[in-house]
Amino acid sequence: MRTEASEWLAEIGINQWAQPWPTHEAMVERSAASIRAGETWMVRDDEGATAATVTLDTYADPQLWTAREHAEPAMYVHRLIVRRGWLGLGTRILNWAAAKAGQQGNDWIRVDVWTDNKPLHDYYLHNGFEHVRTLHSDYPSGALFQRSTKVAPVAGFATPAERVQSLSD
């Protein structure tokens, strides 16, 4: 799914995920560790095809988030990938992530976004996130956003709606 997403992004002129970060091996191990820890979810349609994936955990990259932010109760969204054709499903996943984080006593869900992917910045702002800051460094994902777990869900839908299974544990 990551390769599919990076190819689509390249088609529209965005280089996000064009190269594994920081290395292919490290990227694979990070993903595998999240799966083993039960922190990665797959969203499937009624036929069992995967429509999306997301990782939600408490890992705050120390290169990105401050010591004060590390001390605040928060969960972090990683590797949210929604297949093309599932308009609105990402919003539903973010609503689910905020509710899950809030149920576990967290005040925030946070995400670091590719620094030069402005459409993705707008996407998170549209989904109730606030821009915290943008770091300009060698780290490609330095645009930081957060959303309170106490705000109402953002309106969203998924297409084709009749084929989406509910998000749950």
Class of domain 41-163: alpha beta
Reading the chain (169 residues) residue by residue, the pLDDT tens digits are 777 767 776 676 767 766 666 777 877 788 788 889 899 999 998 888 899 999 999 999 999 999 999 999 999 999 899 998 887 899 999 999 999 999 999 999 999 998 888 999 999 999 999 999 999 887 778 999 999 999 888 876 554 443 444 454 4
Q: Could you state, in order of their start, the residue ranges of all structural domains in the chain?
A: 41-163
Give CA–CA dist 169/163, Å, rounded: 18
Give CA–CA dist 159/110, Å, rounded: 26
